[in-house]
Amino acid sequence: MPVSCGSSCGRNAFMRRPKTGDTLCKECFFLAFETEIHNTIQQEQLFRPGEKVAIAASGGKDSTVLAHVMNLLNKRYNYGLDLVLLSIDEGITGYRDDSLKTVAQNRDDYGMPLRVLSYQELYGWTMDRIMAEIGRSNNCTFCGVFRRQALDRGARLMEVDCVATGHNADDIAETVIMNILRGDTARLRRCCDIKTGSKEADTIPRVKPLKYSYEKEIVMYAHFKKLVYFSTECVFAPNAYRGHARAFLKDLEKVRPSAIMDIIHAGEQLQIKGTVKKPIRGVCGRCGFVSSQQPCKACVLLEGLNRGLPKLGIGKKSKGERMVALQEQQLREKAHLVKNDF
């Protein structure tokens, strides 16, 4: 027997929401999903009228739904925002080149200006070349660090007031788990913030409008709205450390559906002891972008690649310093031998 929609609209339900367990019809699900994001934006005061907002667009389900919903809410509630799309091309053959076609479709569908920046353009390297140097281990470290800084670079070039990313509830819960397992207290508290950076700190803020949206519901919304998105997983992703946290979270969610929100709320309430040394976020002396170390991680990784020491920025700083010292000693010895030959 058909189940009636829980919102008493008179229509039959077609789904049970993974997040709340409510039985809803398609139209009521759309409205509930969109309204929750609107409430998040309003309660957290993510935007101000007249701001220029860059949506970090990868062509995947999260950024596609974010672009669609932001465009919809901007018109429905008169936010007064100037929305643009910002994409990063990591240079992964068979993955990013195809997903950028989807981003171009989003640009045409929503009438938003699009800017694409590539690793090749910014760093002189592509992920395919980095992969050839570093191998399948630690490649996600390079991609993640370079991508985060590339978004900052793109935001500055586009002169936007903030960047909206498609991080959803599952992503944030996974990050909490990863930081706990790594004992990373600095990132553990910060990863739950819905807004990071500020103009006062001379950094372009980033916001997460989908912070409380379940991944399953994002997929359902995209599917039933018939949104065009790229669903192929990155060819390097199977080796990512995040995959283990994701598998653990999925198993946990089967037993306790509220586990995702429970982990996020726990992360939000965490208090770090005053005796724990916390890194101070500042600006890198080399590139001028936000960093909690000198030089920043992106500059260290790039230096390693250019020196022929791709593992320079992997692991402890002291290990990297020893690698540089050894290389410089070898160069001096080689130069001394060449001098003696003459």
Q: Give 87-134 as a 3 state SS string.
A: EEECCCCCCHHHHHHHHHHHHHHHCCCEEEEEHHHHHCCCHHHHHHHH
Neighbours of 147 (CB within 10 A): 17
pLDDT of residue 280: 78
pTM, rounded to two decimals: 0.88
Burial 201-233 (b: 16+ CB within 10 A, else e): eebbbbbbbbbbbbbbbbbbbbeeeebebbeee
pLDDT at residue 177 is higher than 90: yes
Task: In the chain, list all ranges with CATH 3.40.50.620.
Answer: 49-278
Per the omega criterion (within 30 degrees of 0), is the bond before 257 cis?
no
Least Cα distance to 54 among 63, 65, 62 occurs for 63
User: What percentage of the chain carries pLDDT values higher than 90?
Assistant: 59
Residue for token pair 């800084």: 149
pLDDT at residue 318 is higher than 50: no
- The contacts of residue 130 (CB under 8 Å, 6+ apart) are 139, 142, 143, 305, 310
Annotated binding site: 56-58, 62, 88, 166, 171
pLDDT at residue 137 is higher than 80: no
Least Cα distance to 99 among 249, 230, 220 occurs for 230
Neighbours of 29 (CB within 10 A): 22
Q: Poorest-confidence range of 97-106, 108-117, 223-232, 267-276?
A: 267-276
Least Cα distance to 17 among 306, 269, 217 occurs for 217
Q: Could you tell me the pLDDT band of residue 270, with boundaries at 50, 70 and 90?
A: confident
Annotated binding site for ATP: 56-58, 62, 88, 166, 171
Dihedrals φ, ψ of 116, to 5°? -115, 125
pLDDT at residue 50 is higher than 80: yes
For residues 143-165, give the mean pLDDT. 95
Within the chain, how many helices (H) and strands (E) appear?
A: 13, 10
Task: Say which DSSP state 226 is in.
Answer: T
Residue for token pair 């008493």: 8
pLDDT at residue 167 is higher than 80: yes
pLDDT of residue 234: 79
Q: Name residue 141's amino acid.
A: T
Q: Which two tokens stand for residue 5?
A: 């929609």
- The CATH architecture annotation of domain 49-278 reads 3-Layer(aba) Sandwich (3.40)
